[in-house]
Amino acid sequence: MAKLTPILAYDEETGSRDTAESLAANSAVERLVLVCRREPTDLSALALRKGRTVDLDFFSGAGINRLLDETDGDYLLFCLPYEQLQLGQRSIERLILTAEDSGAGLVFSDFKDQVDGQLTDHPLIDYQPGSIRDTFDFGGIFLISKRAADAAVRVHGRMDDHLRFAGIYELRLKLSIGSTIVRIPEPLYTRFPADRRATGERQFDYVDPRQREYQIEMEQACSEHLKRIGAYLAPQFQTPVRDAQVFPVKASVVIPVRNRERTIRDAVSSALSQKTSFEFNVIVVDNHSADRTGEFLNEMASNDRRLIHLTPERTDLGIGGCWNEAIYSKHCGEYAVQLDSDDLYSDEHTLETILAKFDEGPFAMVIGSYKIVNFDLQEMPPGLIDHREWTRENGRNNALRINGLGAPRAFCVPVLRQIGFPNASYGEDYAIALRISRRFEIGRIFEPIYFARRWEGNSDAALSLATANRYDAYKDHLRTIEILARQRMQHR
């Protein structure tokens, strides 16, 4: 059998000892690399004989270079820090066999979670060309072909020694170019998770100001990857073409809604209260609500002709489909501005601020910044989400790495009508932003002009694992298509 060198971030307090002993007992393991500051004293004679202690930063570029330089064997097994793991029956053999059969450069697998004595399956998602976000979940263990890693270094260079956080990220991006990344849809080990937060609590980690240095490094590594694969775009933008379309108003606030009787009055009132130097309307697309949402909208529309209440004939529409109902309708203005049915504009000048930004440059889209607040508009952590990582020079490249671009989102309708939204209820706005940014410049407003309310009715507050996986796979698909399109642009 092929020879394996496990690389284990060793910490006695997180249960690493059992993992080290299990790895040392495997016949495929001749050498066990223990990443820690001092020699462990609690290991068996076998583990100590096979083990070699290395003091390095597990995620740094210099650390990854050193590991590749100083380790041998056919495969390297990376066992990540922070999680307690228990290997399953013949899990090592299964990883190696899959790597040998497929010729993959990296192999990872599903696993089980054990929380409070209960075991549950934790499936992951397949890797695809668009899976370039640094948050892609490989689990706690993954196998790398030493031959593929060495080839990636020869062709694409060593990891940047100055990287403190992005060493492993840069390695897997380089591996993904010349070799495949394969997921085994079988639970090969058990994880005892340390982070038990719901999705709604984790989703803004990447914009935490305390992670700014981390984010800069990840952006740098991602940008270099896009250059290597011919998908990087320089800051050269087309000017949106305004044709002879006639619009009834300058701007339309678009609010898709379904069963939001508790919040729809607030959202519509926030939109109608805008003070502007131009005419606007509010288009609410009621996606067949079964509560009193429609009743409230009819009442408000009878008192203000600017409120357009639309109910689609179709019953198979998601949020994106509802947007299409609005933007292709005769009521839509030259600019369409987003407002979710449970959110609010921060004051009566939001719409004016957004249209003024459009006037500053030939933008096809403008994205603002928002504050996270509770139902009573009290600020909640992490507070302001301003996406200051967006730059004119590199924003549309970095957009392929992150999961969102901010709110509120506003569009030049002549451009938007050439594309249309995908009929989806998650990622539809991200899809449009990627598509627009491929050719046009996106204007940014970094001051808070929007309140995103967190409450029990939020659809993303606590997603099930199956739903989170489906959403992540969909956004990776969007990135895959966008990368392919950008590569085609470069070859024309």
Contact yes or no for 412/250 (Cβ under 8 A): no
Domain's final residue, options 164, 199, 234: 199
CA distance 160 to 65: 9
For 288, half-sphere exposure in the C-beta direction (CA atoms, 13 angstrom radius) is 8
pLDDT band at 196 (very low <50, low <70, confident <90, very high): low
CB 15 within 8 A of CB 83: no
Same domain, yes or no: 289 and 437: yes
According to the model, what pLDDT value does residue 217 have?
96
Percent of the chain with pLDDT over 90: 83
Q: What is the pTM of this model?
A: 0.92
Are residues 173 and 313 both part of a single domain?
A: no
Query: pLDDT of 409-453, one tens digit each?
Result: 999 999 999 999 999 999 999 999 999 999 999 999 999 999 999
Burial of 272 (0-12, 13-18, 19+ CB in 10 A): middle
Q: Could you give the percent of the chain with pLDDT greater than 70?
A: 95
Could you tell me if 65 and 157 are in contact, meaning their C-beta atoms sit under 8 angstroms apart? no
- What pLDDT shows up at residue 443? 97
Check residue 159 and give its pLDDT.
97
| Confidence band, pLDDT 50/70/90 cuts, at residue 460 | low
Q: Within 13 A of 315's CA, how many CA atoms are on the CB side? A: 3
Tell me whether residue 472 is in a domain.
Answer: no
Q: In this structure, what CATH number is given to the domain that contains residue 72?
A: 3.90.550.10
* Contact of 44 with 36, CB cutoff 8 Å: no
Among 159, 184, 199, the domain-final residue is 199
The dihedral built from the CA positions of residue 320, 322, 327 and 329, taken in this order, carries a sign that is positive
CB distance 451 to 369 below 8 Å: no
- In the chain, what is the straight-line distance between the N-terminal and C-terminal CA atoms, in Å? 47
Q: Phi/psi at 93 (nearest 5 deg)? A: -60, -40
Q: Same structural domain for residues 194 and 330?
A: no
> Does residue 164 sit in the same domain as residue 306?
no
Residues 191 and 259 in one domain: no
Q: What is the pLDDT at residue 242? A: 74
Same domain, 267 and 130: no
Question: Do residues 386 and 283 share a domain?
Answer: yes
The four Cα atoms 327, 488, 159, 388 give a dihedral, to 10 degrees, of -20
Q: Are residues 316 and 451 in the same domain?
A: yes
Tell whether 243 is covered by a domain.
Answer: no
Q: How confident is the model at residue 41 (pLDDT cuts 50, 70, 90)?
A: confident
The arithmetic mean of pLDDT across residues 330-336, rounded, is: 98
Are residues 128 and 182 in contact, defined by beta-carbon separation less than 8 angstroms? no
- How confident is the prediction for the chain on average, in pLDDT? 93
Judgement on whether residues 260 and 130 belong to the same structural domain of the protein: no
Q: Each residue of 111-140: pLDDT tens digit? A: 999 998 899 999 999 999 999 999 999 999
How many domains would you assign to the chain? 2
Give the range of the structural domain holding residue 335, as residue numbers without chain letter. Answer: 251-461
Same domain, 289 and 371: yes
* pLDDT of residue 225 exceeding 70: yes
Cα separation values, 368 from 228, 288, 410, 432, 449, Å: 31, 29, 8, 16, 7
Closest CA to 228 of 177, 263, 163: 177
Q: Is 219 part of a structural domain of the chain?
A: no
